[in-house]
Amino acid sequence: MLAAIPFLYVLAALSLSFASLSSIVILLRQMTGGTPSPHHVLLFRLVLESSLTNTAASVLPPLLALFGLGPARVWHVAGALAFTVMLAHFVSYPYRRRHAAPNQPMGALGWGNIALLFCGPALLVLDVAGVSGVPAGALYALALYLRLLGSGCVFFANFAFFVRQDSSAMRATSGFQSAKPPLEG
Q: Minimal CA–CA distance to 54: which of 125, 148, 138, 165?
A: 148
Rounded distance between C-alpha atoms, residue 176 and residue 185, angstroms: 22
In sequence order, the 6+-apart residues with CB closer than 8 A to the CB of 175 are none
CB atoms under 10 Å from CB of 7, counted, come to 17
Are the C-beta atoms of residues 144 and 120 closer than 8 Å to each other? yes
Q: Minimal CA–CA distance to 51: which of 142, 147, 136, 134?
A: 147
Residue by residue, pLDDT tens for the chain (185 residues) are 578 899 999 999 999 998 888 888 888 877 877 777 888 888 888 888 889 999 999 999 999 999 999 988 999 899 999 999 988 888 888 888 888 888 888 878 778 777 877 888 888 888 888 777 888 788 999 999 998 888 888 888 777 766 665 544 433 433 333 444 444 44
Confidence (pTM) = 0.79
Query: Which amino acid is present at 68?
Result: G
